[in-house]
Chain A
């Protein structure tokens, strides 16, 4: 089955760190750009970061630059998001997706990150 499955979410204190993972299956993961998108409670979608097929190009939304790092391991069909210096405003459901702006767009089911003391 073609799917993306996120994991690693949870409750973390402000200033803490968390690493999200996204496992791809059923397709050749290395062929696609991959992204992280988040959705704060009751809010719209916000693009967080993108990474090129070979990891050579990365882009971030300004609010996470210097705090979040996107990476991938094509040998393990996996996408990651290392989140440091977390803030309350980072609380959201985090989705991984492939080819966000293309016909081959596919979303995972999401993982909840809660930043609270």
Chain B
């Protein structure tokens, strides 16, 4: 059971906008930044969003992040087939003194 809660799956058609949620508590998302990672099939994770809403250079602006209270969200607009991947959220948890992850969301492009 992961400390952060993500839906196990999400889907959309090409061109659509999809949103993936990440729910936590006051000790993690509520008081710390959130990172999002993209894991393409058979590969290592890659940083997608940092500090809750910032994109590293090279990440398309179709990807955006936001945070409100104890929840965070990843939005992907103009969905493309190459976006099919697992998406993971993570944050520092001050009560556990640990990095905590969500269980990951598998995004399928229909």
What is A's interface to B at a CB cutoff of 8 Å?
35, 37, 43-47, 50, 59, 61, 95, 100-103, 105-110
Query: Could you name 13 residue pairs across A and B whose Cβ atoms are closer than 8 Å?
Result: A44-B101, A44-B103, A44-B104, A45-B45, A45-B90, A46-B101, A47-B100, A59-B97, A59-B98, A61-B98, A101-B33, A101-B91, A107-B37
Q: What's the minimum C-beta distance from A40 to chain B, rounded to whole angstroms?
A: 12
Chain B residues with CB under 8 A of A107? 37, 44-47
Q: Are B98 and A47 in contact (CB-based, < 8 A)? A: yes
Q: What's the minimum C-beta distance from B16 to chain A, rounded to whole angstroms?
A: 25
Complex: how many Å from CA A105 to CA B57? Answer: 12
Chain A residues with CB under 8 A of B54? 103
Chain A residues with CB under 8 A of B100? 47
Range for the number of chain B residues in contact with chain A: 20 to 34
A101-B92, A101-B99 provided; 10 other pairs, C-beta below 8 A? A43-B103, A44-B101, A44-B102, A45-B37, A100-B35, A101-B32, A101-B90, A103-B47, A106-B47, A110-B44
Q: What's the minimum C-beta distance from A9 to chain B, rounded to whole angstroms?
A: 14
Say whether chain B's binding surface is mostly helix, strand, loop, or mixed. Answer: strand
Chain A residues with CB under 8 A of B2? 44
Partner of B44, one of A35, A100, A101, A109: A109
Complex: how many Å from CA A43 to CA B23? Answer: 18
Chain A residues with CB under 8 A of B47? 103, 105-107
Q: What's the minimum C-beta distance from A106 to chain B, rounded to whole angstroms?
A: 8
Cβ of B77 within 8 Å of any chain A Cβ, yes or no, is no
Chain A residues with CB under 8 A of B91? 101
Chain B residues with CB under 8 A of A44? 2, 88, 101-104
Cβ of B41 within 8 Å of any chain A Cβ, yes or no, is no
Which chain A residue shows the least CB distance to B33? A101
Complex: how many Å from CA A108 to CA B32? Answer: 25
Q: Are B44 and A47 in contact (CB-based, < 8 A)? A: no
Complex: how many Å from CA A37 to CA B88? Answer: 13
